[in-house]
Amino acid sequence: MRRADRPAHASAPAYAALQIALHWVSASLLCGLFALGFYMTGLAKGAPGKAVLVNLHKSLGLTAALVIAWRVVVRVSRAAPPSIPGLYCWETELARITHRLLYMCMVVMPVSGYLGSSFNPYGTRFWGVPLPRWGWVDSALQHMFYTVHSTTADLLLCLVVLHVAGVIKHQWVDARRCVQRMLPGQRTRAL
């Protein structure tokens, strides 16, 4: 297996400050949403405080959707820096596919959650402000969109684990200094 053409000792170019900030804000929001989502779905229907948690999850989810939309716009307008030098070609391709799937899941999850809420009797409130409903009360459509939402959440969680495993491998096993690409103030020049 052939490694990418750049030498292994070269520094990996860093992401732009805005890309770094959006990465960590969306990662923090997604971690909170996963924890809250798993906790609230384990509560019995009608449990005290569950409605508050569900509304908090919806508000955080829509906030994450706005951050992710901003992230997608930035990603389209400003390409990511070149991949980490010295990787095998299959590692570079796996990283590319994983990142694309991560973005796909980050878009599908909030859209499917919002659409699922549009077909339930409660609708969606964004930090207390009622949002338009894009449907009517229909338990079959609600179930379908919530199934897409939860399946996408499971896929996203698997992709995040794969992403973190790749970071750990490249940072500490391969000594490629990839974490510095996503830390503020750790700028390196593009190759």
What are the tens digits of pLDDT across the range 111-170? 999 999 999 999 999 999 999 988 999 999 999 999 999 999 999 999 999 999 999 998
Mean pLDDT of the region 19-34: 96
What is the rounded end-to-end Cα distance, in angstroms, of the chain?
23
Position 43 scores a pLDDT of 95
Alpha-carbon gap, residue 153 to 106, rounded angstroms: 9
Q: Provide the pLDDT confidence category of residue 186 given band limits of 50, 70 and 90.
A: low
Position 175 scores a pLDDT of 74
What's the predicted TM-score (pTM) here?
0.86
Q: Provide the pLDDT confidence category of residue 68 given band limits of 50, 70 and 90.
A: very high
Which residues is 125 bridged to in the sheet?
130
Alpha-carbon gap, residue 138 to 118, rounded angstroms: 9
Per-residue pLDDT at 22 exceeds 70? yes
Please state the domain extents for the chain: 17-78+86-181
17-78+86-181 — its CATH code? 1.20.950
- Nearest by Cα to 25 from 77, 73, 60, 76: 60
Q: Please, what is the average pLDDT of the chain? A: 89
Mean pLDDT of the region 47-53: 95
Alpha-carbon gap, residue 168 to 179, rounded angstroms: 9
Query: What angle in degrees, to the nearest 10, is found between the helix axes of 89-118 and 50-77?
Result: 130
